Amino acid sequence: MKALTARLAPPHRLAKVMRRAETSSGPSTRPACASTEDAPVADATDADSAPRRSLLSLPVRTMIAVTLPLLCVQATGFVLFWMMGELSPSLLFLYAIIAGCSSALTATFAYNAGQQVAQRMASVASVLQRVQDGDYRPRLNVKLGDEFGLLAHRVNRLVEVAAGRERRLMDTALVDPLTGLCNRSLLTDRIRSAVAISQRTKSTFAVLVLDLDRFKAVNDTLGHAVGDRLLKEVAIRLRQTVRDTDTVARLGGDEFVLLLVGDEHLAVEVADRILKSMSTPLQTNGQQIDIGLSIGIALYPEHGQDDATLLRNADSAMYRAKHQRTGRCMFDGDTRRVQPSQLSMLSEMRAALSAGQFELEYQPKLNTKTGLIVGLEGLVRWNHPVRGRVPPNEFIPFAEETGFMRELTQWVVVEGARFSAELMRRGLKLRVSLNVAAQDIENPAFCDSIGQILAKTKLDPQRLCLEITESGVVSETETALRNLEKIAGLGVLLSVDDFGTGYATLKQLQRLPVHELKIDRSFVSGLHTNKGNQSIVRTTIDLAKQLGLSVVAEGVETVTELRTLAAMGCDEVQGYFLSKSMPAGEVVAWVEMRNTLHASSSELYFEMLTGAKRQAAVG
Question: CB of residue 547 vs Mg ion: minimum separation in angstroms?
Answer: 19
Q: Which is nearer to Mg ion, 233 or 497 (CB)?
A: 497
Kindly tell me which of 368 and 435 has the beta carbon lying closer to Mg ion.
Answer: 435
Q: Give me the 359-398 binding string for Mg ion, x by CB under 5 A, dash otherwise.
A: ----------------------------------------
User: Cβ 219 to Mg ion, closest distance in Å?
Assistant: 26
Nearer to Mg ion, 148 or 499 (CB): 499
CA of 427: how far to CAs of 361, 362, 366, 424, 588, in Å?
Answer: 20, 18, 18, 5, 11
426 to 485, contacts with Mg ion by CB under 5 A? 435, 467
Least distance to Mg ion from the beta carbon of 353, Å? 20
Nearest distance in Å: CB 435, Mg ion: 5
Minimum separation from the CB atom of position 607 to Mg ion (A): 31
Question: Shortest distance, CB of residue 251 to Mg ion, whole angstroms?
Answer: 35
According to CB under 5 A, which one of 448, 497, 561, 571 is a site residue for Mg ion?
497
Q: What angle do CA 511, 512, 515 make, to 5 degrees?
A: 125
| Nearer of residues 152 and 380 to Mg ion, judged by Cβ | 380
Q: Does residue 591 contact residue 574 with C-beta atoms inside 8 Å?
A: no
Least Cβ distance, residue 211 to Mg ion (angstroms): 27
316 or 435, CB closer to Mg ion?
435
- Of the pair 435, 439, the CB lying nearest Mg ion is at 435
Stretch that binds Mg ion, among 129-137, 219-227, 402-410, 490-498 (CB under 5 A): 490-498
Select 348 or 467, whichever has its Cβ closest to Mg ion: 467
Q: How many residues bind Mg ion (CB under 5 A)?
A: 3
Strands 205-212 and 293-300 turn out to be antiparallel
Calculate the CA 243 to chain-centre distance. 23
**Of how many residues is the chain composed?**
619
Handedness of CA 519, 525, 527, 532 (dihedral sign): negative
CA angle 550, 553, 556 (to 5 degrees): 155
User: Where does this chain touch Mg ion (CB under 5 A) — which range of 312-320, 350-358, 497-505, 533-541?
Assistant: 497-505
Closest to Mg ion by CB, 376 or 450? 376
Give, rounded to a whole angstrom, the gap between the first and last alpha carbons of the chain: 125
Cis peptide bond N-terminal to 392, omega within 30: no
Helix, strand, coil % over all residues of the chain, rounded to 5: 60, 15, 25
Q: How far is the CB of 497 from Mg ion (least distance, A)?
A: 4
222-231 long-range Cβ contacts below 8 angstroms, 24+ apart: 222/287, 222/289, 222/452, 226/284, 226/285, 226/287, 226/289, 228/178, 229/282, 229/284, 230/282, 230/284, 230/289, 230/291, 231/178, 231/179
Contact characters 29-58, Mg ion, x per CB under 5 A: ------------------------------
CB of 467 to Mg ion, least distance (A): 4
Per-residue mark of binding to Mg ion, 525-554 (x: CB under 5 A):
------------------------------
Stretch touching Mg ion by CB under 5 A, among 40-48, 212-220, 344-352, 495-503: 495-503
Stretch that binds Mg ion, among 72-80, 101-109, 230-238, 493-501 (CB under 5 A): 493-501
Distant-in-sequence, close-in-space partners of 310: CB < 8 Å, separation ≥ 6? 191, 207, 298, 300, 303, 304
Q: Give the binding range for Mg ion (CB under 5 A) out of 213-221, 489-497, 502-510, 597-605.
A: 489-497
Q: Report the Cα 204 to chain-centroid distance in Å.
A: 27
- CB nearer to Mg ion: pick between 383 and 501: 501
Applying CB under 5 A, the span of 274-282, 292-300, 445-453, 496-504 interacting with Mg ion comes to 496-504
Nearest to Mg ion of 316, 433 (CB atom): 433
In terms of CB distance, is 176 or 467 closer to Mg ion?
467
**Which CB atom, from 13 or from 521, has the smaller least distance to Mg ion?**
521
d(CA 435, CA 413): 8
Which residue in 534, 533, 573, 532 sits closest to 556, CA to CA? 573
Nearest to 559 by CA among 607, 516, 522: 607
Footprint (CB under 5 A) of Mg ion, residues 553-612: none
CB 260 within 8 Å of CB 205: yes
Q: How far is the CB of 377 from Mg ion (least distance, A)?
A: 6
Q: Which is nearer to Mg ion, 254 or 497 (CB)?
A: 497
Helix 184-201 and helix 147-174, axial crossing angle in degrees, nearest 10: 90
Contact segment (CB under 5 A) with Mg ion among 248-256, 294-302, 492-500, 576-584 equals 492-500
Nearer of residues 435 and 483 to Mg ion, judged by Cβ: 435
> What is the smallest separation between the CB atom of 527 and Mg ion, expressed in angstroms?
19
Euclidean distance between CA atoms 511 and 337, whole angstroms: 38
- Closest separation in Å from C-beta 569 to Mg ion: 21
Q: Which of 418, 409, 359, 369 is nearest to 552 (CA)?
A: 369
Other CB atoms within 10 A of residue 506 CB:
10
Window 264 to 293, contacts with Mg ion (CB under 5 A): none
**Residue 211 is a binding residue for Mg ion (CB under 5 A):** no
Minimum CB–partner distance for residue 436 and Mg ion (Å): 9
Q: Which is nearer to Mg ion, 191 or 360 (CB)?
A: 360
Reference 151, options 273, 27, 24, 21; nearest CA is 21
How does strand 247-252 pair with strand 255-261? antiparallel
Give the number of C-alpha atoms closer than 13 A to the C-alpha of residue 477, restricted to the C-beta side.
7
CB of 434 to Mg ion, least distance (A): 8
Q: Cβ(554)–Cβ(574) under 8 Å?
A: yes
**18: CB partners within 8 A, 6+ apart:** 151, 154, 155, 157, 158
Q: How far is the CB of 554 from Mg ion (least distance, A)?
A: 7
User: What is the binding site for Mg ion (CB under 5 A)?
Assistant: 435, 467, 497
